[in-house]
Structure 1
């Protein structure tokens, strides 16, 4: 067993998990509140900052530090967390202590490539499957986005197998996409970036690049996928014309699929994904070329017939990665809001919306902890954030008026 980091108490904040949660995130198994309280009682974490937002006064505490470009987190039923680091490590985090897990697949670590997203199987407590996306090398200097699964035994992954490998390897380093999410009908969604060098791949329906895929749990193609039966289209495709989606979630109450596509210089777009739709990239974009600041060479227009319009455009540039829907009671004024992490912008955007449009936005954690790679609501109802830094960290957002017994004073008064 390799222990990489010991949590160092700095500020005494008694961590005891709060009121029972509602609508747990897809693929995150729940556990009894009493058991979680027992495991975390007396834990102390460093307070990083407090922030007086428009509707909620919040505290940000550091759960773990010294993580090298962490990419994704998942919540185990026993209260521990799993966190990937892009250089190829999977970690168990227990009360701030970071323990590396052995047995992960070989990954190609180059620029944006490495070990990426995580998702527990919806029946994790029964079958133990943990799914991971990563950049897979082929031995000839090329890579593809792949999804593997394995089971945790102690601090080792066992029964590791690839369930999906992108159908074309190409030059490494850029635009792997790689977000995973489970739909309410038990299908696995996988985002695949356009792989950067040939953006028109996103309009080639025989190519997985620039798409969202829908898979059975074993990686096979569901019979009801939108293009099944068409020999000219890859059967895994659910949507296409996507650039590099690194923010994906399913609303477990409604089944809606939310994605935030990472645009070029501008053009960060929020979508509600629908089966079989074309989202336009690179023929349709609202962004500009990184180098010239002129139009994307392949671009034709900002909108086009038979190309799905975005639900919302994030302005100014956000560089989105990670998204969650607030449903728990810990942040009552934020319930029903989307939180979208930002890399270059170093902030979280809180999005207030109705069925038709975005009504209001607020920025949170602006340059407080660094580049936001992932943001998720935990089964305890608090919000968890990973920062994409060489010395990155795992942080928890709590109500600032958290009392010594772990409850929010406002919630106590309302009971």
Structure 2
């Protein structure tokens, strides 16, 4: 599989859509999950979980008491169990630890009214001494396994190639947080048994697309070199052996855009857009985007649509850049409209994007 060449970007502004504000005044919202009744759970970075229904916002109690809020660490991703309608079980990722030793953890609990019950931390990744690059996105596969993304800790990029470290990895876990026996490195005594793939920088987008059976992720590059990747068990995604980005001082990190034995990206961004949140569009509201990737952008302050022909990137469209809001997460709701979480100086919002009537 070869990485695709860059494409000309098409721009669409907010005037091309119907934009509805579902909720505003959110404080650094990070992750969103839609409940079966059409209401929403939103994590806030500072350690709060909000339930949003019919415009009303209320706090959910029962969160972990050891959330480390510092730098890029805080309360992060949220995902519902596949059997949530009956089990009421959900999972959240968060940063734990101290300034000198912190990492990413998974918290499992059941939602009962306005409270989380039976909560427990089921997994803690290894620690690092930097407040950056926690990853924190999660998704379930059809076999009920839970995928968790991790970052390289920023100052430890070489560890992304070290199978004995959690840094720069994507993990596959059971619902109780233990590694699965059929993980790709389970028979390697020098590897972490949880590892699903490696060679990542800071993965903040993850989605399993049930229709195609593909597991997609995206990750932040340094100065340029953000990537959209098709995940395969046991694969090496190249960081820091290969990247189209440069270090923040302008120096080359590596002479290689691609590297033998590693998986090439499907799409990259130079300059960086700082991607965050990922969905594959399935629905009838935007048939022109069926099967395409929706990518939020922090630095890029927009929502991107990557036109996918199977697993090839064949075009890209930038949406809503005129709003000048950082897009932290994106989902497709039950009726096929698109929802985004935004950040800006006047607070965070949950917005619904629909076609113009």
Larger Rg: 1
What is the correspondence of 1:234-245 to structure 2 with a 5 Å cutoff? 234-245=192-203
- Specify every segment of 5 or more residues in structure 1 that has no aligned partner in the other structure, as ranges: 1-48, 53-57, 402-415
Alignment correspondent of 2:53: 94
TM-score by length of 2: 0.93
C-alpha separation in 2, matches of 1:87 and 1:202 = 27
Name the one with the larger strand percent: 2
For the pair 1:78 / 2:37, whether they are aligned, the reply is yes
Residue 235 of structure 2 is aligned to residue 271 of structure 1:
no
- Alpha-carbon offset, residue 284 of structure 1: 1.4
| 1:34-45 correspondence runs (5 A) | none
Q: What does residue range 190-201 of structure 1 map to in structure 2 within 5 Å? A: 190-201=148-159
Contact 2:229 2:266 in 1 (8 A): yes
After TM superposition, the score normalised by the length of structure 1 is 0.80
- CA distance in 1: counterparts of 2:322 and 2:70, whole angstroms: 26
SS of corresponding position for 2:19:
strand
**CA gap 1:244/1:312 in 2 versus in 1, 3 angstroms:** same
For this pair of structures, how many residues does the alignment match? 343
List runs of 5+ in structure 2 lacking aligned partners. 1-12
- What SS is found at the alignment partner of 1:125? helix
User: Within the alignment, does 1:383 sit opposite 2:351 as a pair?
Assistant: no
SS class of match (1:51): helix
Say yes or no: does 1:347 pair with 2:302.
yes
- For the residues of structure 1 that align with 2:116 and 2:147, how far apart are their CA atoms? 22
Matched, 1:400 2:356: yes
Q: Per-residue CA shift, 1:29-79, capped at 9, x if unaligned? A: xxxxxxxxxxxxxxxxxxxx8432xxxxx1111111111110010011122
- Contact 2:50/2:60 (8 A) holds in 1: yes
Question: Is this contact kept in 2: 1:183–1:255, CA < 8 A?
Answer: no
Q: Which aligned pairs between 1:10-409 and structure 2 lie closer than 5 A?
A: 50-52=14-16, 58-105=17-64, 106-137=66-97, 141-166=100-125, 168-290=126-248, 292-296=249-253, 299-355=254-310, 357-368=312-323, 370-389=325-344, 391-401=347-357
What CA deviation, in whole Å up to 9, does each residue of 1:202-229 have, x standing for no partner?
A: 1110111101101111111111110011
1:184 Cα deviation (Å)?
Answer: 1.7
The answer to whether the 8 Å contact 2:149/2:171 transfers is yes
Maintained 8 Å contact 1:349/1:362:
yes
Does the 8 Å CA contact 1:212/1:238 hold for their aligned counterparts?
Answer: yes
State the distance in 1 between where 2:47 and 2:322 align.
27
SS of the residue 1:202 aligns to: helix
3-state SS in 2 of match to 1:195: coil
Distance 2:252 2:88 in 1: 47
